[in-house]
Chain A
Amino acid sequence: MRTSREIERIMGAFGDAVWRACILYLPPADAEDVFQDTFLKFAMHDASFRGDEHIKAWLLRVAMNGCKDVLKSARRKNASLDERLESCGDEDLGVESGSSQGVREILDAMDSLGDPPKTQLYLSLYEGYSAREISEICDMPEGTVYSWISRGKTRLKEALS
C-alpha cells in the first residue's frame, strides 16, 4: 500500500482533475463515491508508474470508468445530469463562488453530447491530451478518437450557442 505521504501528494496534485472528471458524469454524492474508490484503488495499487503524468492518466481512466459503471445502473439511466445537478449546491460541486452558472452550463452542454464524444472531448479540450493519449485512456483507436473530438466540438458549439 502506498504511503500516506505519497497519497497526500498525488491527491493534492490530481485531486481536482479526478473530481472534475467525476462531476462531468455524476452528481456530487455519486462523484464522491467514485472519487473515494479511485484514490483507494491508487492507494492499493503497488505497481510502479512512469511518472506523475502516467499517474494522472491512470487516475482519470479509473475515475471515468468508475463513473460509467455507476451510470450504467438502471436507476440512473432515466435521469439527466442536468436534473441531478439541480438538487445540489455549489459547495457540493466544488465550484468557486460566482462561477456556478458557467459551470452548470458547460456540464449541461457536455452531458447533452452523449458519450462518446463527451469523454474524448473533455480529455482533449480541457486536459489537453493528444488523440494518441486519449486512445490509450479510452481504449479506442486513434482515428476514432479524432473523429469523436471533431464531432464533439461541432456539437458542443451548437449546444452552447
Chain B
Amino acid sequence: MSDMEKRVHDAFDAVHAPERVKASTFALIEAKRAELADSSGSSESSDFAVTAPQKHAAFEERAVRDAGEMERRPRGARTRKAGRGFRLLGAKIAVAACLLLAAVGVGGFAVATPTAYVGIDVNPSIELGINRFDHVVETKAYNDDGQAVLDQAQVQGMAYADALAAIESAMAEQGYIAQDSVVEVSVVCDDDSRYASIESACLNCFSGSGSGAHCSRATADDHHAASSCGMGMGKYRAYQALSDAGVDITAEEASNMTMRELYDLGTEAGVDIEWGCGSGHGAGHGAGNGNGSPDGSGAQASDDCDDDGSGAAEQGSGQGQGSGQGAGRGHGQGHGSGHGAGDAHE
C-alpha cells in the first residue's frame, strides 16, 4: 500500500456514522412503518414483516410508489429550503416518534439484539443468543444433531433458564446424554454478574447430565472464530488447545468428534482442555455380595445397578453389600454412583 493509499485509508477509517444520525434514521423508518401500518388499518410489529397477504400487498404497493417517487425526484428539486424542510419534517417525525421509539424502536433494538451468547457442545453443538431481558432471540445449530435438538426444544423467545432446561431435556430424549457424556457450556457475556447468573443456570441445568457440565467464559473473539469455523465454541476451544499442544487434528475432525472424545483425546495427549468450573457426577462401578433367604423356589442371581451396590434377587430376597467408586470430572463437585452386582445365595 502506497503512502497515499495509507493516508486515504487512515482518514476514512476514522470516520463513522454518528449514532445520532443512525438513531434518527431508524426513527424515521419506524415512523414510516407506523404510518403505513396505520394507513392499512391495523397494527404492525416493528420486528416482523406484515403477515396478512392483503395488507402486505397494499404495503408493498405504497412502499414501491414512495421509493419510485424518491427515484423520480427531479434534479435540482432538492433546494436548500427543501432540504431544511425535510430536516424540519424529519425532526418533527423524530419527536413524534419518540414515544413510538420508546415502545417499539428502542424496544425493538433491545428485544432483538443478543447481548450474551451461550454455546452448548455435547455432540450436538448449538448456540443461543440472549437479549438483555434474558430471553432467547437467536438460535444456531452447528451440526445436524444440534438442529435436531433445536427443532425439538423450540426455545426461541423462551427465558434462557427455561430454554436450557428444554435443551437438556431434548438432548436426553434424543440420546445425546449418556453416562459419560461431557456437556461443555461456553458463555460470551461482558457483564460479570450476568455471567455468574448464566453460569449458575447452566450448571444447575446440566449438572445431572452425563458426567456433568463444564461452564466457562469465552470471549467475543472466540465466538467469532468458532462461528467462522462452523464449530460450537466448546469444540473450537478444545480443538485450539489440542492443536496448540501439537496434537495432529483438523478443525473438521474436531467438529465431528463429541466433547467426550475431545476430552479423552486431551487426556491421552496430556493436554488439559478443561476450563472454568464444573459440576458433575462420577461414574463408578461397585461390586457387592449379598446374602439372600430363599423362598424355596430356587436360587436366582441378580445383577442390579444400585447406588449402594445392593443386590435384590428376583425370587427370594437378597441383600448385597457393595462399594461404589465415582470420579467427578471438571473442577466442580463430583459424586459417584456405583453400579453394584449382587449375588444372592441360598
CA distance A110 to B56 in the complex (A): 44
For residue B73, which residues in chain A have a CB less than 8 angstroms away from its CB? 69
- Check: A35 CB closer than 8 A to any chain B CB: yes
Contact residues of B: prevailing secondary structure: helix
B42 → A minimal CB distance (Å): 14
**A85 in the interface, Cβ–Cβ < 8 Å?**
no
Across the two chains, which residue of chain B brings its CB closest to A105? Answer: B11
Is A16 a contact of B15 with CB atoms below 8 Å?
yes
Pick from A41-49, A131-139, A140-148 the stretch touching chain B.
A41-49
B8 touches A35 (CB 8 A): no
Whether B8 lies near A106 (C-beta < 8 A) is yes
Residues on A with C-beta less than 8 A from B64 are 44, 46
Which A residues are CB-close (under 8 A) to B322? Answer: none
Q: A96 contacts B14, CB within 8 Å?
A: yes
Q: Is the interface on chain A under 10, 10 to 19, 20 to 34, or 35 or more residues? A: 35 or more
A125's partner among B5, B46, B105 (CB-CB below 8 A) is: B5
CB contact list, B1-50 vs A, under 8 A: 4-5, 7-12, 14-18, 21-22, 24-26, 28-30, 32-33, 36, 46-50
Known: A99-B10, A102-B14, A160-B4. 16 other contacts (CB 8 A): A2-B49, A3-B46, A4-B109, A11-B22, A19-B15, A30-B83, A32-B21, A33-B78, A33-B86, A36-B28, A40-B29, A40-B70, A74-B76, A103-B14, A106-B7, A125-B9
User: Which residues on B are within 8 Å of A, measured CB to CB?
Assistant: 4-5, 7-12, 14-18, 21-22, 24-26, 28-30, 32-33, 36, 46-50, 59-60, 63-64, 66-67, 70, 73, 75-80, 83, 86-87, 90, 104-105, 108-109, 112-113
Residues of A within 8 A of B (CB): 1-5, 7-8, 11, 15-16, 18-20, 23, 29-30, 32-33, 35-37, 39-41, 43-46, 69-70, 72-76, 91-96, 99, 102-103, 105-107, 125-126, 153, 156-157, 160
